Amino acid sequence: MNQKTKNRSLDFFGKSNYAWMLVGAALILIGMLLLSGGKSTDPNVFNADEVYSFRRITLAPIVIVAGFIVEIFAIFKKS
């Protein structure tokens, strides 16, 4: 067994796999950041429009799920 074959058998993922994994991780992070916020200055006041906004209820979960789909694609992609 030569050195190139030996190194190839130890590499689970190629360079493109790692790039896709970074993209997926970035999407998950962006989705989590979209979920954050909604703090009120007065703890006795509940602002339903801010907590249940389109960004937090719809957009953020879609971005997070897209990030997980990209991660699955990156793992199963052949180098």
pLDDT at 30: 98
List the one residue out of 5, 24, 34, 32 whose CA is nearest residue 77. Answer: 24
Domain ranges of the chain: 13-76
Is the predicted pLDDT of residue 7 greater than 60, yes or no?
no
C-alpha span between 64 and 79 (Å, rounded) = 25
Is the pLDDT score of 77 beyond 60? yes
Number of H helices, E strands in the chain: 5, 0
